[in-house]
Structure 1
Amino acid sequence: MKVAVPTRGNNVDDHFGHCEAYTIFTVDASNKIEKAELLPSPQGCGCKSNIASVLKEMGITVMLAGNMGGGALNVLNRHGIDVYRGCSGNVRILAESFLEGKIGDSGIGCAHHEHEGEEHQCSH
Structure 2
Amino acid sequence: MKLALPTKTVDGKAVVDSHFGHCEYFTVVCVDDATRTETSRVRVEAPEGCGCKSNVAELLAADGVTVMLAGNMGQGAVDRLAGVGIEVLRGCEGELDQIISDWLAGKVVDNAEICDHHDEDGHSCHHEHEAPGLKPLS
Q: Secondary structure at the match of 1:8?
A: strand
User: Which runs of at least 4 in structure 1 moved beyond 4 Å after TM superposition?
Assistant: none
- Name the count of aligned residue pairs: 118
CA distance in 2, matches of 1:120, 1:15: 10
The higher relative CO (CA closer than 8 Å, separation ≥ 6) is in: 2
The structure richer in helix per residue is 1
**Any stretches of 5+ residues in structure 1 without a counterpart?**
none
RMSD: 1.6
Which aligned pairs between 1:25-104 and structure 2 lie closer than 5 A?
25-28=29-32, 29-104=34-109
Amino acid at match of 2:62: E
CA distance in 2, matches of 1:44, 1:51: 9
Percent identity between matched residues is: 46
The CA deviation string for residues 83-111 of structure 1, in whole angstroms up to 9 with x for no partner, is 00010011122011111100000010112
Q: Secondary structure at the match of 2:52?
A: helix
Q: CA deviation at 1:48?
A: 1.9
Amino acid at match of 1:110: C
